[in-house]
A and B are shown apart, each in its own frame.
Chain A
Amino acid sequence: MSELASSISFGIGVAFTFFGCLGLLRLPDVYNRLQAATKCVTFGMIFMIVAVVIRSGFGSLGVKAILCLAFILLTSPTAAHAISRGAHRSGVRLWKGSVIDEYLKDREPKG
């Protein structure tokens, strides 16, 4: 039973990771790619780590896996935000189909 639950949970995680990487491959712009890839891959990692915890129980392996999940949930959005801020400030243009750029308007009065 726990083998089956672990397999299904890991499968959901692998599917989300695959779609995130597909977005990284196919979307037109660095900001769109960041959106797709970071969200989907982080969400998939939750299911993969949960699969490890289901398989092994709350032993030392399971607690380490939960610690790893906590680190990823803290660091991945922070890294994505830092990259997008750095990209915008280093002058990477938005895709020509983008309709609004609020951050540029916020930055302009300060120069």
Chain B
Amino acid sequence: MQPIWLVYTGVLILCCFMCLYRVARGPTAPDRAVAIDILGIVIVGFCALFSVLTGKEWFITVAITWSLLSFIGTTALAKYLEGRGYDE
């Protein structure tokens, strides 16, 4: 493994902690929802990084599943914030 990939791993971990800070401190509930959405996409990036580093194929499968589940969760949170029914 070349050292540049170690730098990429460190920067992505830093991004995760930035998102977690916004989840913990966010003044309103939509801030937390945005931060959770972005955290999901950063974790998909992590899966891409691991699949490059290890050459294993199932990391990309995990990434597909994670992106779809993150979308469902974020949409449910947004509908809950809107305070209306799920049928519109």
Contact = CB atoms under 8 A, between A and B. Distances in A.
Contacts of B74: 79, 82-83
Nearest to A90: B81
A52 B64 contact: no
Given A17-B12, A17-B42, A24-B19, A75 B51 contact: no
Contacts of B30: 30, 83-84, 86-87, 90, 92
Contact of B81 (A13, A52, A76, A86): A86
A25 B16 CA distance: 11
Contacts of A38: 34, 37-38
Interface string A79-95: 11011111101101000
A33 B28 CA distance: 12
Interface size class of B (residues with CB under 8 A): 35 or more
Interface size class of A (residues with CB under 8 A): 35 or more
Given A22-B18, A25-B22, A87 B81 contact: yes
Interface in B41-88: 41-42, 44-45, 48-49, 51-52, 57, 60-61, 63-64, 67-68, 70-71, 74-75, 77-84
Interface of A: 6-7, 10-11, 13-14, 17-18, 20-22, 24-25, 30, 33-34, 37-38, 41-42, 44-45, 48-49, 51-52, 55, 60-61, 64-65, 67-68, 71-72, 75-76, 78-80, 82-87, 89-90, 92
B41 A10 contact: no
A40 B67 CA distance: 16
Contact of A11 (B8, B15, B45): B8
